[in-house]
Amino acid sequence: MRKYLKVIIAPLYWRIMNRLHNYQVESTQVGFRAVIGRRVIIRAGSEVSSSVKIGDYSYISGPRSFVGSANIGKFCSIARETTIGVSDHNYRWVTTHPIIIDPEYGIVKDPVEEPQKPAPIIGNDVWVGMGAFIMRGVSIGDGAVVAANSVVTRDVAPYSIVGGNPARHIKFRFPPEIVAALLEIRWWDWSDEKIRKNRENFRVVEAFVRAHQPGVGDRQSGGESGSSEVTQVS
Ligand SMILES: CC(C)(COP(=O)(O)OP(=O)(O)OC[C@H]1O[C@@H](n2cnc3c(N)ncnc32)[C@H](O)[C@@H]1OP(=O)(O)O)[C@@H](O)C(=O)NCCC(=O)NCCS
């Protein structure tokens, strides 16, 4: 009954929430308690659980992306058909079947919590390619890229590109000194105004880093440089 009620209520709920908040939830399968940042887009046909947090400007493409749990930073691009942070069945118990935890099968009266690894942490400006699978317990650094169809089972370093099953390091996006500077600059914490002012520089990483070299001060524009957590959502 609750399930059917949700199907009826969800489209109306998200239409109202989209108007009240500055985001665009097109899917009706998004948990009502999910924490959704400014200008986030969740495309139709994607499923996002209530425990998920998504930072400003990140998007999840549909159809068929499923985010079971995750703490996603700002400006992340998550392609369609990706699977992130789904639960494990406990293979250490006698059975992996949910008869011993789920009242739906008529064996137990009350639901039993199954132990789970923590939700995956996805930094800021992370691009997750189509069909990727990101396991619980992993941490993906700022600026990283997950290649199409990869299965991420271990942590991913900032600004690295990983691919395959299991995902292995392919290369870094930039030389170490550029990566270090970008991690200090943390452009994802800038105001919209500052990003707008500097938008041309985003296409030339050396010029970008030169203009905003940490410690030297901004040569192009003012505005706050920010210092929030990697996965901060607002
Ligand atoms: C990761 C990616 C960006 C790398 O692009 P690239 O720099 O042009 O990569 P290259 O083709 O030069 O390949 C570099 C290496 O990575 C490997 N590689 C590339 N894509 C891979 C993948 N999906 N899985 C495993 N390995 C991959 C290549 O085989 C190559 O390995 P080698 O050096 O041993 O030969 C690209 O392959 C990719 O996966 N893009 C995602 C596209 C997508 O999902 N778009 C959705 C729209 S949002």
| pLDDT value at 213 more than 90 | no
Average pLDDT over residues 80-87: 98
What is the pLDDT of the chain when averaged over all its residues?
91
pLDDT higher than 60, residue 201: yes
Distance, in Å, from the CA atom of 71 to the CA atom of 51, rounded to the nearest integer, reads 9
CA–CA–CA angle 82, 88, 94 (5° rounding) = 155
pLDDT digits (tens, 9 = 90+) for 174-196: 999 999 999 999 999 999 999 99
| pLDDT for position 225 | 36
Does the pLDDT value for residue 206 go beyond 90?
yes
Beta-strand pair 66-67/83-84: parallel
What is the structure's pLDDT at 8? 85
pTM of this prediction?
0.91
**45-66 average pLDDT score:** 97
CA distance 88 to 114: 8
pLDDT of residue 39: 97
State yes or no: is 89 an active-site residue: yes
Inform me whether the pLDDT recorded for 93 exceeds 50.
yes
The whole-number pLDDT of residue 218 equals 58
* pLDDT for the residue 6: 75
Q: Is the pLDDT of residue 224 over 60?
A: no
Task: Write down the domain spans for the chain.
Answer: 2-85+120-172, 88-118, 176-220
Q: Which atom, in ligand 1's list, is nearest to the CA of 131?
A: 44
**Over the stretch 131-172, which tens digit does the pLDDT of each residue have?**
999 999 999 999 999 999 999 999 999 999 999 999 999 999
**Residue 189: which of 75, 76, 24 has the closest Cα?**
75
pLDDT at 1: 62
pLDDT of residue 214: 72
| 130 Cα to the center of ligand 1, angstroms | 11
Residue whose Cα lies nearest atom 47 of ligand 1: it is: 79
- Which residues approach ligand 1 with their CB closer than 6 A? 77, 79, 129-130, 145, 147-150, 161, 163-164, 170
- Say yes or no: domain 2-85+120-172 is CATH 2.160.10.10: yes
